[in-house]
Structure 1
């Protein structure tokens, strides 16, 4: 595995984390968290997001309007706003912390321990970002399912369903969690490489190993 090096693993982790961060950022502002299509008027489609609600008609197109009051929002949307904001902040911090910790970057070169700490910190922040992306998407998905199967609503009333942002949010959260895992793997690979180098360069360890092998042969 020529390409499976510590340097390549670090860059792969950074790329996956950055991709998950961009996906989560786009998901946060997409007005497609929930969709609704009325059977009585099929030319109208309603879309709901964390910050806007939109109406699409064939004559006018799409028209969006921001929510007038935060306190008037459902609890699941209020929680989702906070968690998605935390996700974007921690994800951006993970990317910023990971960059100086990469091999080949001329920052903290004389302090390899700091580079290792920055990669571990990036992994933790990426995991937190992934979880705080998956949590609000899952909460909104759960409330959507509960409301959809609520028998208290008349059958003729339109009901909210999943939008495209739900799936992109799940993808972004999983990408962030995967990026954090890859950062941890890169740290373990770096530690293993340092132990191997120290073993090869330490003559005492070599002598002990050779002595042990001779004893085993005898």
Structure 2
């Protein structure tokens, strides 16, 4: 289709990667990764994230508290923190390099190979950013399910469940993986356009026209 050009594909990848990165960034700091509601006290709702634990009551509203010790955290939470930092760093760096590699940006205009390399690098970094946000969300989702169905806990004891931030993290990570893939698609489209424009035209292409014009000139003389 005519509107599906290389430039349009680059901007689609950029837009999707940016939106997904913002979603992942917000998810990383939301204290809504896990929720807990006790059947014995329904007016209290607990929320837990990577950095904070919050308690919501109708009387006092929401109150949050940071974890007392980093080393005292469960191993899955410590690993998730590291992966989230990697995701934030690689995702931001990928957006900067992708912007510099876009068509229309006045940088390295006479060096298409440099722009192509920037888009490939940003695609790889966007993949890394998406995977490193999907990993902690999936790890904590798995541990939450295992603890929820652990028969060693008494039935009356409240248990953690999945929070809204886990689902936004999945959407953000998946969007970044798709955005990184679209960067590679844009690179392939650019390579195809370059080969098509630089392909030599065969002399046989002009032969029928030459013969036709020669016949017209002979008929005019006769």
If the length of structure 1 is used for normalisation, what is the TM-score?
0.93
Deviation at 1:210, TM superposition (A): 7.8
Residue 107 of structure 1 aligns to a residue whose secondary structure is coil
Deviation at 1:2, TM superposition (A): 1.9
Measure the CA separation in 2 of the matches of 1:208 and 1:36: 76
Partner of 1:86: 86
Partner of 2:34: 34
Partner of 1:114: 114
Measure the CA separation in 1 of the matches of 2:42 and 2:182: 46
Measure the CA separation in 2 of the matches of 1:109 and 1:138: 41
Q: CA 1:70/1:120 → structure 2, altered by over 3 Å: closer, same or farther? A: same
Q: CA 1:210/1:141 → structure 2, altered by over 3 Å: closer, same or farther? A: farther
Measure the CA separation in 2 of the matches of 1:49 and 1:81: 10
- Give the number of the structure whose alpha-carbon radius of gyration is greater: 2
Deviation at 1:208, TM superposition (A): 6.7
Q: Please, what is the CA RMSD of the aligned residues?
A: 1.2
Residue 63 of structure 1 aligns to a residue whose secondary structure is strand
Segments of 5+ residues of structure 2 without an aligned counterpart are: 208-222
Segments of 5+ residues of structure 1 without an aligned counterpart are: 212-218
Deviation at 1:20, TM superposition (A): 1.0
Q: CA 1:141/1:209 → structure 2, altered by over 3 Å: closer, same or farther? A: farther
Residue 121 of structure 2 aligns to a residue whose secondary structure is helix
Q: CA offsets per residue over residues 169-190 of structure 1, 9 Å max, x none? A: 0000001001000000000000
Q: CA offsets per residue over residues 134-161 of structure 1, 9 Å max, x none? A: 0000000000000000000000000000
Measure the CA separation in 1 of the matches of 2:191 and 2:205: 21
Q: CA offsets per residue over residues 85-112 of structure 1, 9 Å max, x none? A: 1001000011000011000111000110
Residue 158 of structure 1 aligns to a residue whose secondary structure is coil
Partner of 1:207: 203
